[in-house]
């Protein structure tokens, strides 16, 4: 079962709350690419893309797409005032040099230690890992946005990832359709639950061990 538009918007809106002023942010394809739509106009942040754009704006309105301007996933984007273009070599040099303050990525699995597995499904034809390996290893903060369970209802937050790893112990935060976790001192901590889910629901759909923040919030979905 695919991710509905309402759920995509909710996850992107919640992820947008983690974007800080005056930072450089890289967005993965899919839901993360919607994040700029949920920031106020003129918000001082630079969105960077592996294909050489620095200064991505909100998605263009229908019929206003520029066929020569797209993000790394091939989707049309706009540019903010002062934005710039580079080649891919410079774009990846920025990433590898550690100049990305935050990357927001989708994922297939995350382990309870913060390991990330987001680039291949065994037996399926996929385009490859893209820039995820460099981003996961070098960005100062890595936030994962994904559904809490897979299409069969199985957990995607596991004790150990069963898919090939993109990077080890790199994830700092997970935002799902059910809950928000942060990794603090090597421990996964439940920070928020989206109503109508309960702590019992989260425990039953999460294989990895986690603690519950004493100030955990129940948030309207």
Closest CA to 54 of 93, 21, 82, 20: 82
Nearest CA to 86 out of 56, 59, 50 is that of 50
* Whether residue 50 lies in the annotated active site: yes
Under DSSP, is residue 130 helix (H, G, I), strand (E, B) or coil?
A: coil
CA–CA separation, 29 and 44 (whole Å): 22
Q: Is 193 exposed, middle or buried (0-12, 13-18, 19+ CB in 10 A)?
A: buried
Q: Which is the catalytic residue, given 20, 50, 58, 184? A: 50
H helix intervals, 131-213: 132-138, 199-204
Among all residues, which ones are annotated catalytic?
A: 50
């Amino acid at each position: 079962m695919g991710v509905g538009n309402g759920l995509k918007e909710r996850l992107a809106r919640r992820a947008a709350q983690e974007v800080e002023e005056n930072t450089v942010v890289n967005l993965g394809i899919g839901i993360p690419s919607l994040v700029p739509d949920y920031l106020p106009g003129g918000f001082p942040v630079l969105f960077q893309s592996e294909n050489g754009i620095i200064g991505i704006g909100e998605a263009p309105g229908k019929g206003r797409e520029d066929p020569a301007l797209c993000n790394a996933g091939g989707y049309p984007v706009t540019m903010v005032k002062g934005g710039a273009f580079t080649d891919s070599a410079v774009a990846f040099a920025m990433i590898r040099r550690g100049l990305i303050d935050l990357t927001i990525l989708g994922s297939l699995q995350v382990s309870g230690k913060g390991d990330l597995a987001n680039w291949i499904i065994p037996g399926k034809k996929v385009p490859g890992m893209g820039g995820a390996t460099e981003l996961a290893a070098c960005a100062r903060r890595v936030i994962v946005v994904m559904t809490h369970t897979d299409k069969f209802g199985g957990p995607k937050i596991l004790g150990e990832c069963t898919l090939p790893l993109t990077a080890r112990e790199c994830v700092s935060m997970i935002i799902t359709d059910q809950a928000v976790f942060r990794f603090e001192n090597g421990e996964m901590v439940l920070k928020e639950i989206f109503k109508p889910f309960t702590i019992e629901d989260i425990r039953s759909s999460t294989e990895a061990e986690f603690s519950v923040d004493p100030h955990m919030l129940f948030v309207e979905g």
